[in-house]
Amino acid sequence: MSVFSRPDFDNHEEVVFHHDRASGLKAIIAVHNRNLGPALGGCRMWPYESDDEAIDDVLRLSKGMTYKAAMAGLDFGGGKSVIIGDPHRDKNDALVLAMGRFIDSLNGRYHSGEDVGMTVGDMDVMRRVTPYAHGVSDGSGNPSPATAWGVFLGIKAAVKHRLDREDLDGVSVAVQGLGSVGQSLCEYLCQAGAKLTVADIDPARVRDVQQAPGAIAVGASEIHRVAADVFAPCALGAGLNDETIPELQTMIVAGSANNQLAESRHGLVLKERGILYAPDYVINAGGVIDIAAEGPDYSTAQVMKRVEGIYDTLMQVFARASVEDSMPEIVADRMAEARFMGAARQAA
């Protein structure tokens, strides 16, 4: 199947494949849309089981970045890059430098930051060979705290809309995935008085979070079945599917994972079950807001203030979805498309 025939291909501007024999790099960059500006999106390294899986992932993620940037009010388009490989076994400076040169070859059409399997240190290495690597240690740094802050505020918005509560004191939250974002989110939730149930495939991460007062740990395969007010998926995508949705015991799904719905139809399944869904690319936009602000005038305080806009945006999405008896992700899609398609019409 060609790229153009894939279900996740959606008028992408560019899909570029690259192999660097010396370092062993095998990578793909997908640029979805640049109506609002150069494409911005993280670089992910993952041991994909097949090339097809990597292609589908980069197509979905890059499209999501277009919508994320538009909803966040940024002057960037959407793109993404993936490296095929195990970051714990295959990653080294030679491979990361080769990736940096690959990004640089697009001459600024695509700007990268870190994603799953990549670190601030990797962005520092890339910056040696390209100015289009962001989130470096002497710039905005790790975007995870900003992402987590946005997700925390998004959970508050969902709780306000669904449960009519202003605070999270005593609200039960099941957090799936305890990477940098998941751990920071747990800190915010704990400070707000939420009751946590957590899970991760890495026992060490679970032990770290269990130090929070009252945090309960369950198995990674069980967390979505926990009875809780909020289910917060903060791991990889496609976790909301035909198998897991019937097992959910929650009123709200609000987390940081990208592409949480395995298929678009699963949004309707959630709605039919009475579960409020916070569209992933709206609630998890804190990181891209952080990276987009990188520069000589960068201010953490100003970034966090801007991230607070995620609360208001989600409240608008939820309110419109209620009035229209629609799914929040459909409403969010229309709002995002109005912005980046409107930019194209103005430029014509």
pLDDT in tens, 200-218: 999 999 998 887 777 899 9
Task: Give CATH for domain 144-338.
Answer: 3.40.50.720
What parts of the chain have a pLDDT lower than 70?
343-348
**What pLDDT, on a 0 to 100 scale, did the predictor assign at position 214?**
76
Rounded Cα gap, residues 156 and 52, in angstroms: 37
What's the pTM? 0.93
**What pLDDT, on a 0 to 100 scale, did the predictor assign at position 348?**
47
**What pLDDT, on a 0 to 100 scale, did the predictor assign at position 41?**
97
Q: How many residues does the structure list for the chain? A: 348
Rounded Cα gap, residues 94 and 142, in angstroms: 22
What are the CB-based long-range contacts (under 8 Å, 24+) for 9-15? 9/59, 10/59, 10/63, 12/59, 12/62, 12/63, 13/39, 14/106, 14/109, 15/55, 15/58, 15/59
Rounded Cα gap, residues 187 and 67, in angstroms: 28
12-59+78-127: CATH homologous superfamily? Leucine Dehydrogenase, chain A, domain 1 (3.40.50.10860)
Q: Is 80 a catalytic residue?
A: yes
Residue-wise pLDDT for 10-26, tens only, equals 999 999 999 999 999 99
**What pLDDT, on a 0 to 100 scale, did the predictor assign at position 89?**
97
**What pLDDT, on a 0 to 100 scale, did the predictor assign at position 346?**
59
Rounded Cα gap, residues 274 and 330, in angstroms: 16
Smallest CA-to-CA distance from 114 within 106, 105, 103 is with 103
- Point out the catalytic residue in the list 80, 91, 156, 195: 80
DSSP state of 117: T
**What pLDDT, on a 0 to 100 scale, did the predictor assign at position 345?**
55
For residue 222, the one-letter residue type is E
Residue-wise pLDDT for 131-147, tens only, equals 999 999 998 889 999 99
C-beta separation of 217 from 198 below 8 A: yes
Helix ranges (H only) for 12-143 are: 51-71, 93-104, 120-127
12-59+78-127 matches 144-338 in fold: yes
Rounded Cα gap, residues 314 and 336, in angstroms: 13
φ/ψ (deg, to 5) at 33: -155, 135
Q: Where are the domains of the chain?
A: 12-59+78-127, 144-338
Smallest CA-to-CA distance from 224 within 213, 215, 235, 214 is with 235
With a CB cutoff of 8 Å and minimum separation 6, the contacts of 98 are 20, 22, 23, 25
